[in-house]
A = this chain, B = another copy of it.
Amino acid sequence: MTHEVPAVVLLSGGLDSATLVAMAADQGFAPFCLTVRYGQRHGIEVQSARAVARQLGAPKHEIVDLNLRQFGGSALTDDIAVPKDTPRHEMGTEIPVTYVPARNTILLSLALAWAETLGANDIFIGVNALDFSGYPDCRPEFIAAFQALGRVATKAGVEGNDNLVIHAPLIEMTKAQIIQRGKQLGVDYSLTCSCYDPDDRGLACGHCDACVLRREGFERAGLPDPTIYQEVVNG
């Protein structure tokens, strides 16, 4: 496969965005991966992102530092406890405390900057509206609004050459469907990290919403979960 058309792909190091990189490449794009270290509690994500970008042959991987802890307001960037063992039927019924204010707006704006300097018209973001319907910036209307903004925000917009597309191919997929698709495309999920609250060794807690959804996804996909959970190692 030749990758001649550059696209910026937002890569967190989690299961969804790893699948996204593989999907972008499968569509014929050269996936220029962008990871933002925004003050998450868990630096392990960035190591996962590096490993995923390497495994999937990204032509370039930029890691941008941006301290969103200055604004706070989230369990991922502030001194707020990450919820554990949320009953499955309660997930997505309200906005979780793991929501980071304006995070996807910020991530997409950084992707837009890099896309403009690369001359890329395509940006991929791994948002999902099914499992986490609670996040405002994972909804289709948010993606549509950002695409409309991006088309007037850059030089191409002024020149009437506004072909920007924000791709969110995971938005309507279940976790099991995402995993099955990634497996077909050769994603090595043992490199990825989904946990909101890993320990110092980078091992997943197994109890936060992200762990619960990931585990359930592998079960429903009928595939072995390669994740190493703390409790397995400890006990």
**Inter-chain contact A106/B104, CB cutoff 8 Å:** no
Q: Which residue of B lies closest to A133 (CB)?
A: B158
**Inter-chain contact B73/A117, CB cutoff 8 Å:** yes
A172 at the interface (CB under 8 A from B): no
| Chain A window 192-219, contacts with chain B (Cβ cutoff 8 Å), 1 for yes, 0 for no | 0000000000000000000000000000
A141 at the interface (CB under 8 A from B): yes
A136 to B113, CA, bound (A): 13
**Inter-chain contact B153/A142, CB cutoff 8 Å:** yes
**Inter-chain contact B105/A109, CB cutoff 8 Å:** yes
Contact partner of A136 (CB less than 8 A), chosen from B110, B148, B153, is B153
A234 to B186, CA, bound (A): 64
Residues of B contacting A171 with CB < 8 Å? none
**Inter-chain contact A116/B102, CB cutoff 8 Å:** yes
A149 at the interface (CB under 8 A from B): yes
List the one stretch of A17-25, A51-59, A63-71, A223-231 in contact with chain B: A63-71
CB neighbors of B among A45-101 (8 A): 62, 64-68, 70-73, 95, 99-101
**Inter-chain contact A136/B158, CB cutoff 8 Å:** yes
Taking the closest CB of chain B, its distance from the CB of A188, in whole angstroms, is 27
Given contacts A66-B66, A67-B65, contact A136 B157 (CB under 8 A): yes
| 4 cross-chain pairs, A with B, having the tightest CB-CB distances, nearest first | A73-B117, A102-B113, A101-B116, A145-B149
30 A-B residue pairs with Cβ-Cβ distance under 8 Å, sorted by A, are: A62-B71, A64-B67, A68-B113, A70-B114, A71-B113, A71-B116, A73-B117, A95-B158, A99-B155, A101-B113, A101-B116, A101-B117, A101-B155, A102-B154, A103-B113, A104-B153, A105-B109, A105-B153, A106-B106, A106-B109, A106-B113, A136-B154, A136-B157, A136-B158, A142-B153, A142-B157, A145-B151, A145-B152, A146-B149, A148-B148
Inter-chain pairs besides A101-B113, A142-B157, 11 sampled, C-beta below 8 Å: A62-B70, A62-B71, A66-B66, A68-B113, A70-B114, A71-B116, A99-B155, A101-B112, A101-B117, A145-B152, A148-B148
